Structure 1
């Protein structure tokens, strides 16, 4: 299985709403980094921390939260996903539609690192109550 296949399996599971499938390719010690300024900002170690601090949190705080990845670039052990985040922040009722880039690092058949890049100003406008 190539790095591209590993990452594609994660996005395919995301498209199905399959959380277990999204977590399956993550190494036990994966370093998952959400960009500073994003609501889930930080680096989380391990699939359980990612599930709790990223996926479950997004589900609690957003209506219709979607990560739609429209392009997947194969760079060997590194894979880049490009797409759009959208959703409505429950606390404010404000929506967002922002571009995103994901950088994945894969060793063997497991994701060992993930880093997110997005327009945090547009996300902040949706999550801010002022």
Structure 2
């Protein structure tokens, strides 16, 4: 597999360990991280600090046991990697759980993650929150 594939795989492994520093370590200084419209944290976050505070820390605070478990990684070449998997977790305020499929499209250049775009069923995520 490519270097890009290995970098994305290591990000998911860090996530699985709960290693926030390891998750953001390979991010480029100007990473553009896009959460899908309709998702609770929708928007584009620029830079590791915005991703950490706007996405990862909020997920940790608001969800119990939130996980993003890839079933498959596809090396698309030219620094593109696609992750296909399942989100799961329990929203703390409602006590409702969710299990939702996702697709993540990653961009890696010169050993750094430069882009991320999320695709998921936002309705199922929001249903757990209501």
TM-score (norm 2): 0.95
Counterpart position of 1:122:
124
Instruction: Write the deviation string for residues 59-114 of structure 1: whole angstroms up to 9, x where unpaired.
Output: 01001111111110001110000100001111111110000000001111001100
**RMSD over aligned Cα atoms:** 0.9
Deviation beyond 4 Å, 4+ runs, structure 1: none
Distance of 1:11 and 1:93 partners within structure 2 = 25
Instruction: Write the deviation string for residues 42-70 of structure 1: whole angstroms up to 9, x where unpaired.
Output: 10000000000000000010011111111
Q: In the alignment, which of 87, 111, 114 is matched to residue 112 of structure 1?
A: 114
Counterpart position of 2:89:
87
Counterpart position of 1:41:
42
Q: How many residues align?
A: 128
Shift of 1:15: 1.4
- SS of the aligned residue for 2:41 comes to coil
User: What 5-or-longer segments of structure 2 have no aligned partner?
Assistant: none
User: What 5-or-longer segments of structure 1 have no aligned partner?
Assistant: none
- For 1:1-130, what aligned pairs fall within 5 Å after superposition? 2-76=3-77, 77-128=79-130
Shift of 1:17: 1.1
Distance of 2:94 and 2:116 partners within structure 1 = 29
Distance of 2:110 and 2:24 partners within structure 1 = 16
